[in-house]
Structure 1
Amino acid sequence: MTLSHAIIGVDGGGSSTKAMAIDSAGQLIGDGVSGPSNPNNSDFESAAQAIDLAISQALAEKDVPIASICLGIAGVASESQRSELSAALYHRRPKLLDSKLHLTHDLEIAHCNLFQGGAGILLIAGTGSAAFAIDARGNAHRVSGRDYRFEDPGSGYAIGKRALDDGLFPDSDIDGRSSVAALAPKVIERASQGDLKALNVVRIESEHLIRMMVPLLREIDFKTRPLPLGLAGGLVEADSIYRSNVLYELKTLLGIGEARFPKTPSSHGALRLAWRLLNGDEPFPEPVAAAKP
């Protein structure tokens, strides 16, 4: 069967880039995975290359017109960053000039994936860390982990860096931000085995992660206008001693006793936004699109 067009969602982060493509009926065409696409960790051309590869895989190398595409890319927050990345993408894939394209940060797509366009607060802990909220009036609020003296508090990078500083691992094989963040699962595993240094790293970074969110909670007046809260990102989606510490700090520091977790990948949120870009309020074909996470 000849496909008339594709709708694509892309989730680009500091460790990998994931894409999902569906057809006009919501049937899954395919998905793709490539390397990191946060331009702050490399450059815009490298980010565009990773995104382009993930798109090609999601389309199963088929020459299908892309009707709409939403890209949620970590590190892309300003208009100048969006312009530079868009230019690099159009250079690699000129046919995107004929597509409806929404380029945003990864927080928006992760929020949409969890709250489906509704109000809520999202706290992300992956390679980096950040918080993003949409209030009851539809206004967006954001705080970035890179705005802090301890860069990306509570993230994989912060855990890995603190572990290196505390001598848990030799730093001779470390080459760049991603390799530092890759130490985090090892730190968490050692903490679960009772390693005192690793436990201290987990304790400190889980507290720093929650404290990072405090200015955003003040901004939305959380005490008088509470909103549901969700956690996303590889470090907190996995059931681990680190997630347990984060949930404990949420309760202890902020009095928040419940948190939501995503049931589908963030690329699914990007796909939902791409569908809305093309089809407006027409219902998103959730069961079909979610058939292959």
Structure 2
Amino acid sequence: MVEDRLRGMDRATAGDGGQAVNNADRGQFMSQDVVIGIDGGGTKTRAVVVTVEGEFLGEALGPSSNFQVLGPEKMARVLGECIQQALEVAGRKDLRLRRISAGLAGVGRPSDRERALQAMRGLGFDAEYQVDSDAVAALTGAFAGGQGIIVIAGTGSICFGKGADGCVERSGGWGYLLGDEGSGYYIGQQAIIAALKDLDGRGPATQLRPALERRYGLERIDRIIPKVYQGEIDRTEIANLAPLVFQTAAQGDAVAQEVIQRAGEELGKLAAAVARRLTWSDKVVRVAPIGSLFRQIHVLAPHMERELRKAGVPFEMVSPMFDPAVGAALLGLEAEGITIDDSLCRKLAASVGSRTGGPRE
């Protein structure tokens, strides 16, 4: 169980971060003071530059910075290059960098966050540093630090929520061997299982079987077994089967439709479990889907919503207010003592849209 404050559970910081202030005391800041927010994920890294007044100045993209895959030194190099590029894109030489706030994949344990933080401190920027998990950055961005639930579904799946009292709860995210229900991996795995059951006569006939045989050039679906167990078809590739399953379901295949239905239900159960464990001051709990799987939100949402209704959760499905990189920047602003109020959020949303062509989800 995760039941803690954002700052207590998922943050490591370097330096005292300054004395907390409210927006009325922003006079101690200068217009060129900025924070950098980083979303360091398994496929790419994104750094954004935001002023203490909430103006979005620019962004930069880089390769994966997953701590567990790269280790602290290589991760820090990726972050450093991304930070430098973001500052250059911002296009102002008078900027004063106050804080670098990173939401990173692979730093779920406090010891890993501390190691990542120490590696970042070696980058040489004259700024405070802090490290949070990528999920906390996503949660903060989705609701601008307010209460709500995010359901993240891509290769894997996990759910986080923040209640009215600031407490955070989690469900899922236990990895593909023990969890990741409703994820892209889950959908791909269930499709392979269904095709094998079709071959055996243990399950109904399904177009998933010939679709998978064509995809991998197999004479028969059971030829997929050594490819899976020897790693030729790995976890990521199995997750990449999800679009094929959605396509087969759209063509009317009942087995594929059942796989998609179960996936949606599992994602709904993740959100319902978190909702029941938190205290809410809003009459309706906001639930924001995040991740590549939700490109098919119109297919998954009805099944998710049914599980939430069964659990007696009054909810509203919403789009995230900001993306995880901006969420990390908001965490950095909070650490500098800036109150994340409606005025700041409106300014930030307007400047994000003008810089990128529209808000990111």
Which category describes the TM-score, using the shorter chain as reference length? 0.7 to 0.9
8 Å Cα contact 2:60-2:82 kept in structure 1: yes
How big is each residue's C-alpha offset from its partner over 1:248-287, in whole Å with a ceiling of 9 and x where there is no partner? 4333455545212214322222222222323522753422
2:244 aligned partner: 186
Offset, 1:194: 2.4
State TM-score, norm by structure 2.
Answer: 0.67
Greater helix fraction, Structure 1 or Structure 2: 2
Q: How far did residue 122 of structure 1 move? A: 2.2
1:288 aligns with 2:351: yes
CA distance in 1: counterparts of 2:244 and 2:78, whole angstroms:
26
**Equivalent of 2:103 in 49, 63, 72:** 72
CA contact (8 A) 1:122 1:132 kept: yes
Distance between the aligned counterparts of 1:236 and 1:227, measured in 2? 19
Q: 2:151 aligns with which of 113, 123, 134?
A: 123
Deviation of residue 174 (structure 1)? 4.8
Q: Distance in 2 between matches of 1:211 and 1:11?
A: 26
**Counterpart amino acid of 2:115?**
E
Distance 1:27 1:37, change over 3 A: same
Alignment of 1:46-65 (within 5 A): 46-60=74-88
CA deviation after TM superposition for structure 1 residue 226, in Å: 6.5
The one-letter amino acid of 2:257's match is L
Q: CA RMSD in A?
A: 3.4
Residue in 1 that maps onto 2:286: 228
- 8 Å Cα contact 1:67-1:99 kept in structure 2: yes
Question: Max radius of gyration: which structure?
Answer: 2
Structure 1 residues 47, 211: CA separation in 2 closer, same or farther (over 3 Å shift)? farther
Tell me the CA shift for residue 36 of structure 1: 3.0
Deviation at 1:68, TM superposition (A): 1.3
Structure 1 position 80, deviation (Å): 0.6
- Name the count of aligned residue pairs: 287
1:121/1:264 CA distance change after superposition, 3 Å: closer
CA distance in 2, matches of 1:267, 1:242: 25
Indicate the SS of the match to 1:228: strand
Secondary structure of 1:243's counterpart equals: helix
Match of 2:119 in 1: 88
**Cα 1:28–1:230 shift into 2, 3 Å:** closer
Task: Write out aligned runs for 1:153-168 (5 A).
Answer: 153-167=181-195, 168=208
CA change 1:221–1:148 in 2 (3 A) is farther
Query: Contact between 1:69 and 1:100, CA under 8 Å: does it hold in 2?
Result: yes
- For structure 2, list consecutive stretches of 5 or more residues without a partner in the other structure: 1-30, 196-207, 217-223
Taking the aligned partners of 2:118 and 2:233, their CA distance within structure 1 comes to 29
Q: Unpaired runs of 5+ in structure 1?
A: none
Q: Amino acid of the residue matched to residue 112 of structure 1?
A: T
- What SS does structure 1 have at the residue aligned with 2:275? helix
Q: Is the 8 A contact 2:153 2:294 kept in 1?
A: yes
1:60-85, Cα deviation, whole Å (9 max, x unpaired): 37786532122112332221110122
What TM-score, normalized to structure 1?
A: 0.80
